[in-house]
Amino acid sequence: MKLYCLSGHPTLPCNVLKFKSTTIMLDCGLDTTSVLNFLPLPLVHSPRLSKLPGWVSKDGTVNLEKKELLDLSTIDVILISNYHCMMALPYITEHTGFTGTVYATEPTLQIGRLLMEELVNFMERVPKAQSATCWKNKEIQRMLPGPLKDAVEVWTWKRCYSMQEVNSALSKVQLVGYSQKVELFGAVQVSPLSSGYSLGSSNWIIQSHHEKVAYVSGSSLLTTHPQPMDQSSLKNSDVLILTGLTQMPTANPDGMLGDFCSNLAMTIRAGGNVLVPCYSSGVIYDLLECLYQFIESASLGTTPFYFISPVANSSLEFSQIFAEWLCHNKQSKVYLPEPPFPHAELIQTNKLKHYPSIHGDFSSEFRQPCVVFTGHPSLRFGDVVHFMELWGKSSLNTIIFTEPDFSYLDALAPYQPLAMKCVYCPIDTRLNFHQVSKLLKEVQPLHVVCPEQYTQPPPSQSHRSDLMLELQPPPMPYRRCSVLSLPFRRRYERIHLLPELANSLVPSEIKPGISVATVSAVLHSKDNKHTLQSVPKPPPVPPTKKRKRVIEEPPEVLAPKPLLSGAVPLEAFLATLHKHGITEVKVEETADGHILHLQAEDTLIQLEEDGTHIVCDNNEPLRTTLRDLVLRFLQKL
Amino acid sequence: MPEIKVTPLGAGQDVGRSCILVSIGGKNIMLDCGMHMGYNDDRRFPDFSYITQNGRLTEFLDCVIISHFHLDHCGALPYMSEMVGYDGPIYMTHPTKAICPILLEDFRKITVDKKGETNFFTSQMIKDCMKKVIPLNLHQTVQVDDELEIKAYYAGHVLGAAMVHIKVGSESVVYTGDYNMTPDRHLGAAWIDKCRPDILISESTYATTIRDSKRCRERDFLKKVHETIERGGKVLIPVFALGRAQELCILLETFWERMNLKAPIYFSTGLTEKANHYYKLFITWTNQKIRKTFVQRNMFEFKHIKAFDRSYADNPGPMVVFATPGMLHAGQSLQIFKKWAGNEKNMVIMPGYCVQGTIGHKILNGQRKLEMEGRATLDVKLQVEYMSFSAHADAKGIMQLIRMAEPRNMLLVHGEAAKMEFLKGKIEQEFNINCYMPANGETETVTTNPSVPVDISLNLLKREMALGGPLPDTKKPRTMHGTLIMKENSLRLVSPEQALKELGLNEHQLRFTCRVQLQDPHSDSDTLHRIYTHLKSVLKGYTIQHLPDSTVMVESIVIKLSSSAEDPNTKVLLLSWSYQVIDLSYSQLLLNIRKKLTCSR
C-alpha cells in the first residue's frame, strides 16, 4: 500500500492512495496563494493600479499541484472531504484521460459548484486583452524582477478553468450520504463520516475486511452549524492520514468572533464602513448568525449588511435546505418548520441584502455606513477589489480579515499606502493540536501519516513545542512529492464458503476450543470477491451405444492429500494389525521408535514419533490396507 | 437452517394499519405502525398482544422503522410506544420525523376533541414518542446494534417516504412501505440498488392496474378544471394537507401561468402554509427539476394560490378551492361541499382513494342523495369526478422494482387479497421466485441459505489464484486444499502447513517404499540411466532428475537401484514416495519402467 503526496499544503491536501489494486485520490485542493504574485483585477479601471510598476497580471492563475508523480488517468476514484478541497477538480478530471468517479456529499457538491462558479465568474468578467505564458520559461523567469524571480515552479501555474470544464468535472460526482458504504470494485469499501467542519464535510474510512485507513481532513470539534464530528467510527484504524488542522493554532475562534463584532460595531458607530473579504459559504453563515444576535444589543439595527457575490443568493438559499447535514439545534428548527439559519430573517427584515455584483441594483440601493461581505479573500479579484479602491483612503473604514488562507499583509501589499484600518481576526474552526492529540488518544490508530509541517513547531514560533504533533510511534511525515509505503501487512482476505460446502465440512476438535476441518473446494474469484464451492462431481458419462470400446476410466480427480499429524501408538497399532489378520509381527526397538517386521508379508514398518515408513514389495492391496490402518491413528489437516 | 419470519399485524391482504413484524438472524423488527381509517373500534390499531400478552414491547423488539408519514403507516405509533410501552429506537427519515407529529396531533384532535373518545393518546404522548425517534438519512448505513444494520432508499410516494434494507449478517429483507416508480410533479421515482434481499416485502395497492401515462391524467384534470371555470362554475378539490395537494398546486399554478387565467385558487387554511414550508425546507427530497431551479424559483411559493377564508365560499364567479380533509368526512371540505353541491355548474374532483363510509366514497359510487345529520338530505347536483393521483406503484412498477432489487423471495402486503393473488401468479411466472401473501396474524417462514464468511490467509489465496490462472476453467476445476481453524468466533482458512505451525503440532511423515526386482544385464548405473532417459521420453511435463548420488527423482518420487550380491543381473528397484504425492501414482511409474525393462518378482 502506497501513498503518493501531490500537495505539500497541509490544509489543501491532494494524496493518492493505492490500496488493494484501487487507486484512490484523497481530495484535490487548489492552492491559490500564487495569485498574491499578481496585481488585483479591478472591476473599474483604476489609474493607480495600472500605473504601478512591475508585472501586470495576465492570466488568472492558480497553482496546480505536481502531477508528474503518477498518471492521472489511472485514478479510479476521488474522495472529496469538503468544498474547499475540491477546487482543483477540473484540472484533474478534464483533459487528463480521467475516467473514474468522484464521491462527495450533496452539500459539498452544491457549495463546491457555487465556489467554482464564483471563481470563474470573477475571472471571466474582467477579460484580459492579452495573455502571456512565455515568462514561465525558466530562462526568462530568471531575469524577471522582484518576487516573481523567486517564485517556485511557476510552470505549474495554470489558467483558471472555464464553466464548461466545471460542469463536466462535476458531472462525474456521485453523491453519498454520511456512513453510506460504497463498494469499489468489490475490493475496498469507502464511507464518509461527518467531520464537523462545514456543511457536508467529511472524513473518509477506506477499508477492506482486514485493513482500515482513516482519512481525516478539515475536522472541527466546535459547535458551529454543521453536524458534529463522528469520532467513534475512526477507531481501530491501521493508518490515519491526518490533514487540515487549523492554520491559526494560536487564535481562538470564539475570541476572534468577539473581536470581529466589537471592531465592526466600533467602525459603524464612528461612521465608517466595514469590509469583510470572505468566501461565499462557510464561516460567513456563522458570522451572520453572530451578527443577528449582536445587532440588537449593539443597536446596529439600521445598518445595512450587504453580501455581494455572483452566488450570494444561491449560497444563502442552499444553506437552508440541508437540514440533514446540520447540527442538532438547527435540525430541530426545521421540524417547526422554520429556516435553520437566522439569515433568512435578516433577509426578510431587509437587514441583509444580497447582490450578484456591484453593478446593477446594488449601485442604486447602496447606503453608507454599511457592512459588506464579499470575495475574494486574496483581494486580487472579485468585488472586494473595488471596495478596497473605494474605501482604502479613509481611516474611518475598516477591513476585517476572517479567512485564514492568505497572509493579510501580502494581500494588502498592492493597496499600500492604506489609510483604512486593518483588523485580522482569522477564524479557523479546524482541529488544533490540543484537540487532535486528544482525538488520537481516543481513536488509537496504529500509525499516523501527516504533512511534515505538523511534526515541528511553526517556523515563526519555534519555541512552541505544543504546536506540533507528538506521538508514539512518531507520525510518518510527508512532503510534496513524497511516496510513502504505508506499514501494512495484509494477511487475510474475506472468502465465502457456499452453504453446500459449509455443510459438508467435518470439524474435529484438536485442542479444547479449537477445531479444524479440512476443506477441499474449488475457488471462484469474480469482481474481487472470492467464494469456495464443493468440488463438482464429474458428470456421469452418458451411456453411448455407438462407442463399443471400453471407455478408459477418466483419471479420478486427484484431490490433494492432507498433511498428517500425531503419532502411531505401538500397542494399539499392533492390536489393529492383529484384527486384520496380520499376526506374525516382530518388533524391534530402535533409537527413535520401533521397526515392525511383518514376516508373512515380508514387509517392514518403521514407526517413529514424527514419521512412519512402510517398506513392502509391489503388493498394492497390502500397501493400501497398511496405509489406511496407519491413517486411523493420525489427524489430518 | 437459518430462517426469516414475517408476520403482518396489519396490512396483510388489506390496506390500512400497516404493521409487519420481521424476525431475521435473531433480531425482531417492526415495520410501520399504522392505524386503519375504516374502523373506530379496537380494529383501528394493530393487535400488539400478538407480540406479548402482558407488559411492554421493548424487550421483544430491536427496532421500529416507519416508512412515511401517512397515518396508515404511523398512526398507531404513540399508542404503541406510550400506551402499550416501547422504549427502543424508532427510525424514520427527517421529513417524516418533522411531519408525522403534526398529522398525529391532527388525528388526535379529530378523535378526542370532535368525537369525544377517551382512552386515546395525548399530545404529551406524541411528544414523548417523537423523542424516541432517530432520524435516518438516505443511503446512510445505520448500525442499530453490532449485527443489525438498516439503510434507507428513496421511495417517492410522499415527501420523505423511504424503503428500508434490513440486514443481519448475510441475510437481508427489503421493506418498501408505499412507493412510486414514476416521477411526478414534485417527487422523484423510487430507486434501489441490486441488493438481492432474501425477501422483498412490497405494497400492492395497485396490484392489478397498469395506469396510463401520468401526462394524460394531468391533461384530463386540467381540462375538467378549465371547462368548469370557463362556464363560471366552482371547483372543489378535497385533499389531505400534505402530498397530493402540493402536486396538484404545482400543476394548477403552472397551468394558470401558461394560460394566463385570472380565476382565484384558494388553499384552505390550517396546515397548508406550514405544509408548503416543509416542502421548501426539504427540497432535497423533491425531484430533480424542482431541486435544480429552487434558487431562482421555489416551486412551493405559489403566486396564484392564496389562503382561503370561509366567507369566500359564497363569492360569486368561478374559483378553485383545495380543502381538507380528502375524503369529505368532516371539516372544511365537507362545509364547502354542502354549499356547492346544489349547483350543477360546480364540480368536485376526488384525487385519491376514499375509505368506505365517507361521503367521498358515497358520491363516487354515484349516490345522489345524501343523508346529513338531523335527517336533512342533500341533493348532489354538481359533477363528481375521480382522478387517481395516488402515488403508488402499479403492477408494472412493482415488477420493475423486483427487477431492480433481484430478491430471492417476494412477499406482498398492503393490498386486496384478490388483486394480490393475481400479481403473485404473475411474479412467480415471470421471475420464478416464491411469492407469499400472508393475512394478518399469519406467519410466513422463509428458509435462507447464507454462505459462510471465512478469513482466508492471503498466502493461500494468492497461491491458489496464481495456479488457477487468470480465467477459471469450468471443465477442469482446480481443487484447493486448506484447513479451516475454528477458534472462539473466528473462522480462518489457512494452508495445512500453516495450520500445523499455528496449532503447534508436529507433522507426521508417512512414506512408502516399494521393492521391485528386475532382470537387466547392464551395470547399475547404466540401468538407472536407461530408466532415466526412458522416463524422460515417456513422461512429458514432469520434472525428472538424475541426481549424482545415483537416484532418479520423478517429481518427489525417489527411485534407487541396487543389485543383489549373488546375481548382478537381478536388480532391486526401490521406489519411495510420501503420502501426499498426487502428481503421479507410483503404479503408473512402475508400469512405464516395466515396459522398458524386463522384470520379475
Q: In one letter, which amino acid is B172? A: S
Question: Predicted confidence band at A555 (pLDDT cuts at 50, 70, 90)?
Answer: very low
pLDDT at residue B443, rounded to an integer: 95
Question: Predicted confidence band at B19 (pLDDT cuts at 50, 70, 90)?
Answer: very high
Chain B residues near residue A519 by CB distance under 8 angstroms: 480-484, 493
Assess whether pLDDT exceeds 50 at residue A549.
no
Mean pLDDT to the nearest integer, B358-362: 84
Assess whether pLDDT exceeds 60 at residue B601.
no
> Of the given ranges (A96-105, B57-66, B467-476), which has the lowest mean pLDDT?
B467-476
% of chain B residues with pLDDT over 70:
93
Question: Predicted confidence band at A551 (pLDDT cuts at 50, 70, 90)?
Answer: very low
Q: Which of B50, B119, B71, B111 is nearest to B442 (CA)?
A: B50
Residue of B nearest to A509 (CA): B486
Question: Predicted confidence band at B599 (pLDDT cuts at 50, 70, 90)?
Answer: very low
Beta bridge partners of A399: A275, A422
Question: Predicted confidence band at A63 (pLDDT cuts at 50, 70, 90)?
Answer: very low
pLDDT at residue A58, rounded to an integer: 37
pLDDT at residue B399, rounded to an integer: 94
Q: What is the pLDDT of residues B170-220, one digit of tens each?
A: 899 999 999 999 888 888 999 999 999 999 999 998 888 776 667 788 888
pLDDT at residue B548, rounded to an integer: 82
Q: What is the pLDDT of residues B431-442, one digit of tens each?
A: 999 999 999 999
Chain A residues near residue B510 by CB distance under 8 angstroms: 564, 611-614, 627, 630-631, 634
What does the mean pLDDT of chain B come to?
A: 86
- Alpha-carbon gap, residue A147 to A151, rounded angstroms: 6
pLDDT at residue B270, rounded to an integer: 63
Mean pLDDT to the nearest integer, A242-256: 91
Question: Predicted confidence band at A44 (pLDDT cuts at 50, 70, 90)?
Answer: low
Crossing angle for the helix pair B417-431 and B395-405, nearest 10 degrees? 40
**Rounded alpha-carbon distances, angstroms, from residue A184 to A24, A528, B120, B153:** 10, 10, 51, 20
Q: Which of B133, B183, B136 is nearest to B155 (CA)?
A: B183
**b/e code A74-106 from CB counts within 10 Å (16+ = b):** ebbbbbbbbbbbbbbbbbbbbeeebebbbbbbb
- Alpha-carbon gap, residue A618 to B586, rounded angstroms: 10
Q: A429 and A222 in contact (C-beta within 8 Å)?
A: yes
Q: A283 and A119 in contact (C-beta within 8 Å)?
A: no
Assess whether pLDDT exceeds 60 at residue B572.
yes
pLDDT at residue A57, rounded to an integer: 41
Mean pLDDT to the nearest integer, B377-387: 88
Chain B residues near residue A209 by CB distance under 8 angstroms: 455
Q: A453 and A468 in contact (C-beta within 8 Å)?
A: no
Residue indicated by cell numbers 517556485? A152
Q: B575 and B559 in contact (C-beta within 8 Å)?
A: yes
Best mutation target among A117, A493, A568 (most B Cβ atoms within 10 Å) is: A493
Residue of A nearest to B515 (CA): A617
Beta bridge partners of B486: A515, B491
Q: How far does B130 lie from chain A, in Å, by closest CA?
A: 11
% of chain B residues with pLDDT over 90:
40
Question: Predicted confidence band at A518 (pLDDT cuts at 50, 70, 90)?
Answer: confident
pLDDT at residue B235, rounded to an integer: 93
Q: Which residue in the list B203, B218, B385, B444 is annotated as catalytic?
A: B203
Phi/psi of residue B188, nearest 5 degrees: -90, -175
Q: A275 and A372 in contact (C-beta within 8 Å)?
A: yes
Mean pLDDT to the nearest integer, A340-362: 92
Name the E strands within A527-571. 529-534, 564-565
Chain B residues near residue A210 by CB distance under 8 angstroms: 455
Q: Which of B297, B309, B298 is nearest to B272 (CA)?
A: B309
Asked if the Cβ–Cβ distance from A522 to B479 is below 8 Å, we say: yes
For A617, the closest of B492, B510, B514 (CB atoms) is: B514
Q: Compute and round to an integer the Cα radius of gyration of chain A.
A: 36
Q: Coil, helix or strand for A517?
A: strand
Best mutation target among B479, B487, B571, B593 (most A Cβ atoms within 10 Å) is: B479
What does the mean pLDDT of chain A come to?
A: 85
B481-510 residues touching A, CB cutoff 8 A: 481-488, 492-493, 496-497, 499-500, 503, 505-510
Residue of A nearest to B505 (CA): A565
Q: A274 and A372 in contact (C-beta within 8 Å)?
A: yes
For the ranges A415-419, A519-523, B81-85, the maximum mean pLDDT occurs at: B81-85
For B507, the closest of A505, A564, A630 (CB atoms) is: A564
- Alpha-carbon gap, residue B50 to A59, rounded angstroms: 74
Assess whether pLDDT exceeds 50 at residue A598.
yes
- Alpha-carbon gap, residue A14 to A23, rounded angstroms: 13
pLDDT at residue A137, rounded to an integer: 66
pLDDT at residue A554, rounded to an integer: 44
pLDDT at residue A86, rounded to an integer: 93
List domains and CATH numbers for chain B. Answer: 3-210+391-447 (3.60.15.10), 214-386 (3.40.50.10890), 455-503 (no CATH), 511-599 (3.30.310.50)
List domains and CATH numbers for chain A. Answer: 2-246+430-485 (3.60.15.10), 253-424 (3.40.50.10890), 564-636 (3.30.310)
pLDDT at residue A61, rounded to an integer: 42
Q: What is the pLDDT of residues B218-247, one digit of tens each?
A: 888 899 999 999 999 999 998 877 777 888
> By CB neighbour count within 10 A (0-12 exposed, 13-18 middle, 19+ buried), where does B344 fall?
exposed
Q: How far does B138 lie from chain A, in Å, by closest CA?
A: 7
Question: Predicted confidence band at A145 (pLDDT cuts at 50, 70, 90)?
Answer: low
Residue indicated by cell numbers 491413528? A633
> Of the given ranges (A253-262, B123-132, B325-334), which has the lowest mean pLDDT?
B325-334
**Rounded alpha-carbon distances, angstroms, from residue B137 to A229, B19, B96, B599:** 16, 22, 11, 82
Sheet containing B63-65: give its strands across: B133-136, B90-93, B63-65, B27-31, B19-24, B3-10, B444-447
- Alpha-carbon gap, residue B345 to B231, rounded angstroms: 7
Mean pLDDT to the nearest integer, B344-348: 92
For A557, the closest of B449, B479, B514 (CB atoms) is: B479
Mean pLDDT to the nearest integer, A445-455: 93
% of chain A residues with pLDDT over 70:
87
Give the cell for residue B583.
Answer: 502428481
Best mutation target among A210, A324, A552 (most B Cβ atoms within 10 Å) is: A324
For the ranges A529-538, B376-385, B468-477, the maximum mean pLDDT occurs at: B376-385
Question: Predicted confidence band at A583 (pLDDT cuts at 50, 70, 90)?
Answer: confident
Assess whether pLDDT exceeds 70 at residue A133.
no
For A177, the closest of B139, B461, B580 (CB atoms) is: B139
For A493, the closest of B94, B458, B513 (CB atoms) is: B458
pLDDT at residue B436, rounded to an integer: 95
pLDDT at residue B401, rounded to an integer: 96
B105 is catalytic: no
Q: How far does B345 lie from chain A, in Å, by closest CA?
A: 39
Residue indicated by cell numbers 414550508? B277
pLDDT at residue A556, rounded to an integer: 45
Q: Is B200 left (phi over 0), alpha (psi -120 to 50) or beta?
A: beta
- Alpha-carbon gap, residue B407 to B200, rounded angstroms: 6
User: Which of the pair, B260 or B297, is modelled with greater confidence?
Assistant: B260
Mean pLDDT to the nearest integer, A139-158: 64
* ipTM for the assembly: 0.84
Chain A residues near residue B98 by CB distance under 8 angstroms: 334-335, 337
Q: Which of B389, B427, B390, B380 is nearest to B408 (CA)?
A: B427
Q: What is the pLDDT of residues A488-517, one digit of tens each?
A: 777 888 999 988 888 888 888 878 888 888
Q: Which of A153, A168, A411 is nearest to A277 (CA)?
A: A411
Q: A400 and A425 in contact (C-beta within 8 Å)?
A: yes
Q: What is the pTM of this model?
A: 0.86
pLDDT at residue B298, rounded to an integer: 81
- Alpha-carbon gap, residue B155 to B202, rounded angstroms: 11
DSSP string, A133-160: -GGGSHHHHTTS-HHHHH-S-GGGEEEP
Q: In one letter, which amino acid is B54? A: N
Q: B137 and B164 in contact (C-beta within 8 Å)?
A: no
- Alpha-carbon gap, residue A429 to A222, rounded angstroms: 7
pLDDT at residue A138, rounded to an integer: 65
Asked if the Cβ–Cβ distance from B281 to A323 is below 8 Å, we say: yes
Mean pLDDT to the nearest integer, A311-320: 94
Asked if the Cβ–Cβ distance from B454 to A495 is below 8 Å, we say: yes
User: Which of the pair, A411 or B571, is modelled with greater confidence?
Assistant: A411
pLDDT at residue A547, rounded to an integer: 47
Q: Which of B415, B9, B360, B387 is nearest to B178 (CA)?
A: B415
Mean pLDDT to the nearest integer, B479-484: 84
Q: What is the pLDDT of residues A192-204, one digit of tens each?
A: 999 999 999 999 9
Give the cell for residue A118.
Answer: 464564483
